[in-house]
Structure 1
Amino acid sequence: MKPYLPLKLPIQKMDWVKFIQLIGRANAEVARFDGLLQSMPNPAVLLSPLTTQEAVLSSKIEGTKATLQDVLKYEANPKEKTEKYHDIQEILNYRKAMVYALKELKNISFTNRLIRGIHSILLDGVRGQGRDRGNFRKMQVHIGKSVDIKKATYIPPIPQDVPKLMSNLEKYIHADDKDFLVQLAIVHAQFEIIHPFWDGNGRVGRIIMPIFLYFKKVLSSPMFYLSAYFETNREAYYQKLLLISQDNDWEGWVIYFLNAVIIQSKENINKAKSIHKLYDIKKDKIAETTRSRYAIKTLDFLFCNPIFTSSQFVSMSRIPKTSAWRLLRLLEQFSIIKIIHKGAGTKPSTYVFTKLLKIVG
């Protein structure tokens, strides 16, 4: 097997008729999801757990074992030892990389520099950190279960070709193809085919998906969660990507991708609606039971931190200390939150906002 040389973008010979109906359905679902985002008072707060769950599932595709609850418990008690520490750091890096990307988009647009910056953050302090993070690879890599390249499932392009291939990809990102979702399918696949980094390509390839749709103004917020579908259908995900290099089957990949968008968008819409409804219900209940002018601050804290300690609530909620302790007692008294670890001495109690976590899954 020789290193693969990808087609130059845009794809010239692709039968768009094969997925014209899927394009309409996929765009309709994404538009519904974005409409929901725009109706929310603060989607970044309300959907914070879904964003973390996306990071969990994207990392899980690469072999991590940490769950959403593992991450939230760690954030509540970072000093407590956990055997999943390195997995959790990978997931937290995803969120940091997203914050970085949104900030940099204002300054440098969607460029290869941005992609390299995302890669540097994703691999900071975790597996692959010593593999030239933040830089395109300068060595040949291969994909397969064996370290022997002769037994490889796929051999990406030679390192000398990576800069020009990524330059072509960058130009394609800035161009407007016939449909943005099909263009996203092509961008994601081409990135994975080029395999521009020594390690971490899967994580980078998935995080740039919501960034692309936000950049193209398809979404008003960079919240686009597909990793759940890719994780559930992992074998098909890898197989469809592989068939591009084996049979030039771009149509098969695009069909798979559009179906993923349709199915996962429906699930994301249901979850987002349930979260929004829960927010409205708890807004009324917290206001009614606490009679506090800090009710909204309390609510926003719970949605951003579904697992937290009493000391975190006091220090991070930006509520005066006396009021914060009073609110915490009332939240527990009226079963809005429940205690999962009772504090003792200087060790704070740990609480969970169960109803939100049940929705996120």
Structure 2
Amino acid sequence: MAHQSPCTPPALPVTDLDWRRLVPLVGKANAALARYDGMLQALPNPAVLLSPITANEAVLSSRIEGTQATLEEVLQQDAGIEQAKSRHADIEEISNYRAAMRDAEQALAHRPLSLSLIKGVHQRLMQGVRGSDKTPGEFRIDQNWIGRHGSPMKAARFVPPNPMALPQALDVWANYLASEDEDPVLQVAVAHAQFEILHPFKDGNGRIGRMLIPLLLFQRKTLSRPMFYLSEYLESHRDQYYDGLLAITDNSNWQGWVEFFLEAIVLQADANLAKTRQILDLYDTLKQRFIESTHSQFAVPALDAFFERPILNATDFSRLAGIENRMTANGILSHIKQDKLIIRLRESSGRTPAVFALPDLINIAEGRKVIG
């Protein structure tokens, strides 16, 4: 259904929900998140061990908005292997997403989620990329709409609220975000949808809205770290995702949206848990093999370097592993390559360092064999 005029922001909190149907789903979602967070808390260094799937979340959330770059391309660009020019803008957007998420996690350590915090995250997300001319970090004062590129508002699929109604609607939303009256999984389902309906920025609303999911679950202490990745499910169910959001403003169908979102949390939490277990198992296996291969005090730091950056050049390897002696670093790389624990993607040439990859870790993050 096409909207030719701005929608009216739905009232919060949502009151017309069928709790008989929702209570079992809420219970399943909380149980799935608890299982995943239990594994998260057991990880010796989640920021390092989950770095590849954190990067993949940025890839997938950005892909929902139309980028095409893959995780492997992003990691290769990070390591200094130049990618096709057609991918540069995509990779920059993905890099910004990762940086914005890091900024948000650091900010939440000493202040709650708020409109000002979200504006700061948005400014970082849009810095120097497509949309950087659309007032990054500022809520819109113009009417926007969603439809085919270049189409007029009368042909739009969805028209967010009038900018005159936006400040009050955002205040209501922010108050809802700060409340602790509802179960966290229900609150995040509603808060994410309402943010997308308000579409408060000129660009980047989808990505900011998806960042809010782990951030709010972390703020409500459902997660010990804001490291829950839902974009894989939303990207693979993109039509249901968009249709569910539209049904709220078209038909006041909050029930269908909440059921879809809670089911997404259950399935994605279990998928994240399985992937995290695979990563931890790989780490434990490789830890022993790196020690046996290198007989070095730097064996574990070397492994950690590859988990933090699964594709990296020799210079970055030395820095991340804390190895100041170049011959020592090159010796370790030579041993673990000879034992087929890593592969070389690029030979060194003059001042250009060699680039290496840890294929098993990249393949786990992608969920399929893409390298090696």
Give the TM-score, by structure 1 length: 0.97
Worse-matched range after superposition: 306-315 or 267-276: 306-315
Which aligned pairs between 1:71-86 and structure 2 lie closer than 5 A? 71-77=74-80, 82-86=85-89
| One-letter identity of the residue aligned with 2:95 | L
Distance 1:78 1:325 in 2: 19
1:353 aligns to 2:358 (yes or no): yes
Aligned equivalents of 2:297, 2:144: Cα separation in 1: 58
Alpha carbons 1:25, 1:262 under 8 Å: kept: yes
Q: Partner of 2:268 in structure 1?
A: 264
How far residue 360 of structure 1 moved from its aligned partner, in angstroms, is 1.0
1:183 shift after superposition = 0.7
| Alignment RMSD | 1.3
Q: Is structure 2 residue 73 aligned with structure 1 residue 106?
A: no
Asked if residue 178 in structure 1 is aligned to residue 198 in structure 2, the reply is: no
Q: CA deviation at 1:262?
A: 1.0
| Native 8 Å contact 2:298 2:321 kept in 1 | no
Q: Secondary structure in 2 aligned to 1:236? A: helix
Unaligned runs of 5+ in 1: none
Q: Greater CA deviation, 175-184 or 274-283?
A: 175-184
2:94 aligned partner = 91
Residue among 239, 248, 267 paired with 1:244: 248
In the TM superposition, what are the counterparts of 1:49-88 in structure 2 within 5 Å? 49-77=52-80, 82-88=85-91
| 1:255 partner amino acid | E
In the TM superposition, what whole-angstrom CA distance separates every residue of 1:242-263 from its partner, at most 9, and x where no partner exists? 0000000000000000111111
- Secondary structure in 2 aligned to 1:206? helix
Instruction: Give the equivalent residue in structure 1 for 2:349.
Output: 344
Aligned to 2:369: none
Aligned to 2:212: 208
Structure 1 position 152, deviation (Å): 1.2
Q: Quick check: 104-113 or 294-303, which moved more?
A: 104-113
What amino acid does structure 2 have at the position aligned with 1:295?
Answer: A
> Is the contact between residue 94 and residue 122 of structure 1 (CA under 8 Å) also seen in structure 2?
yes
Q: Give 1:315 shift.
A: 3.2
Q: CA deviation at 1:300?
A: 0.8
CA distance in 2, matches of 1:37, 1:218: 12
Whole-angstrom distance in 1 between the partners of 2:10 and 2:355: 53
Kept in 1, the 8 Å contact 2:10–2:249? The answer is no
SS at match of 2:175: helix
Identity %: 41
Separation in 2 of the partners of 1:248 and 1:315? 54
* Offset of residue 80 of structure 1: 6.1
Q: Which amino acid in 2 is paired with 1:323?
A: T
What pairs up with 1:1-361 in 2 under 5 angstroms?
A: 1-77=4-80, 82-145=85-148, 147-321=151-325, 322-361=327-366
* Matched-pair contact (CA < 8 Å) for 1:18–1:251: no
How many residues align? The count is 361
Q: Distance in 1 between matches of 2:66 and 2:364?
A: 24
Q: What CA deviation, in whole Å up to 9, does each residue of 1:172-202 have, x standing for no partner?
A: 1111233111110000000000010111100
State the AA in 2 paired with 1:205: G
TM-score calculated relative to the size of structure 2: 0.94
How far apart, CA to CA, are the structure 2 residues paired with 1:223 and 1:165? 28
What is the letter of the counterpart of residue 350 of structure 1?
A: V
Deviation (angstroms), 1:96: 0.7
